[in-house]
Structure 1
Amino acid sequence: MKINQIIREKRKELSLTQEQIAELLGVSTPAVNKWEKGSTYPDITLLPALARLLKIDLNTLLSFNEDLTDIEIENFVNELDEIVQEQNYMSAFQMAIDKIHEYPTCDKLLYSATLYLDGALFLYSVPEPEQYRETFETFYKRLSVNEIPEIRDTAISMLISYARNRGEYSKAEELINMLPFSTIDREEQLAILYHKQKKYEDAEKIWEHRVLKGVTDIQTALINMLEIALLEKCNDNAEFFADMYKTITRQFCFPEWMRYNAHLLLAIDKKNKDECLSILKKMLPAMKKEWNVQDCQLYRNAKDSESTLFSSRLADTLCDELATKEEYAFVRDCIEFRELMAEMRS
């Protein structure tokens, strides 16, 4: 903690108001308010009296030698690893506890040392690990309210894991649902929890949704990468991305018409009339076909969708654009195209 935090917390612990502090020290209330906000600091001549008033020593008030640097913490964790390997886990654990007691307000030290020691339990197959995890859980609870998102989120994630592994599923779910929007994936945590609880259908629904979303994300990425390749005139890359798009779409049981998307973009960019017509003859009729997501084992628990209706409407829109937009003019001057459009309209 910084000096402003110490003044504020110690004042509150003693049930004193800012006005009382100001009166006892012979300063103004706004001055005390500024100290606690960190915008100004007490005059050096006031520090001994302020320390006595807050019932702490000057070293504590000034946060003397409070925090270790990031490099010092990194070196200390490396030292812990050497102790584990050269001596034993218990020696490293005790060494960490002593250092944490020496720097009780250094949360970065607490975070790094705890994460290392917790991971080392598994890495080095430490016997009777639960005797250490009780201490680690206490540390994670403290870190779960830290102001640094990385520290806070990791600590909460570890508390979820502890509760889940003990079978405390209600506690785990409570922690998951308390999570803010952060780097921790709430959906994933719930899926793992449901799996542990043998709520297999609930877990499977989440994973199925992840597959659907994941493939959609990959498709979007590949299309964007293809378009960039075309703009950069990297035709080999564009062909590769189009082939990958088609493979991913087919392998993950997405509607047939989708697998032609990327190659249609390539054919349009090249203004290759024959290739465009070949793709459209397969793609447009496929867009009118019914597709039930539950027919694929990957998505058997998925909810009913309106994807068939959507793709049929999309086919109509595409036909309109093919018939009117200038960029597709190169493909319109042939009988095959007109016949295909007439077939789709009927």
Structure 2
Amino acid sequence: MPMNTVIREKRKALGLTQEEVADALGVTAPAVNKWEKGATAPDISLLPPLARLLGVDLNDLFCFFEGPSQPEIDRFNARLGQVLRSEGVDAAFALALAETRKYPNCAPLLHAVATALDGALLLSATAAQKQQYEGRVIALYEQAVRCGAGALQGRSRFLLAGKYLAQGRLDEAQELLDLLPEPEQPDKRQLQAQLLLAQGRTADAAKLYERKLIAATGEVQAALLNLLDIALDEGRSGDASALADVSHRLAGLMGQAEFSALLPQLEFAVKRQNEAASLDLLKRLFASLPSLSRPPAGPLYHHLAPEYQARAQTLAPEQVLSTLLPGLLAELETAPRYAFLQKNEEFRQLLARWRRA
């Protein structure tokens, strides 16, 4: 609660009038009235006796234990992104961790900061930074789970389960998954779109359907890549090749960036440890990075196109490179799955060239 609300509610709870508060503090009743309306605030010298009179701690009076509002969290996240782009991962973590120490029980802030920092580690961090900060991201998710409730707590549990799984903490991941509800069926968005159509709001309905397409494409692509890995592990290279081809064609059909379309083919080449094919695809993958700054193309996203184009205008290709390159290079340089390439001179020259970029 803001200070004016604390003063008003505590005064009423004690059965005091504004005049009685004014007499006790040596001020006028209209001054107290302005405090309670939020038009003015008490003089700093009056705060200790006011807190004693109302029976509250100064921290309560100043709302030090209140969490920030959602607009404040959104503004902080925007600032965090700016610091990440201009000053790097270390500065972003320092800022974020300082902010969460101020509000250690604010689940919306903890969740927002954890997901932002998690993305920074994935896209922009070096191998050393990933090792240094991964535990801190997990701690933030754990804190968000403890403090959160409802859907927000569920999202924190889901993301934390993924972190546990990546670390091999399988029992802990299963425990979190068991606490998550089953997906709701049928999809609420389907009925919402039909309602919008009945109301004559065809453009809004189309946007909802187009967003469903984007989400569904992401889910299908993830499933195809996992099936590709399983097929290779089972020695079904022909099936794996077919799955890579389906995923590649799906990316093209659904208007995804060229970068996304190349990923399944790269996965197939890397899993088979095919040096020549992997190098060729990595060259194409690096060259396609700027395509991520362009919006999805084609008639599938006709109604969302203006929003995506406006967003793309604020994201230059150079920003995409500066954001994604550090994480991608760190992954290629250190991940065991690329060990078969890491002694290849052409591979090392490729990484050196893009590191300079």
Question: Taking structure 1 as the reference length, what is the TM-score of the superposition?
Answer: 0.44
Question: Taking structure 2 as the reference length, what is the TM-score of the superposition?
Answer: 0.43
Q: Report which structure shows greater RCO (CA 8 Å, sep ≥6).
A: 2
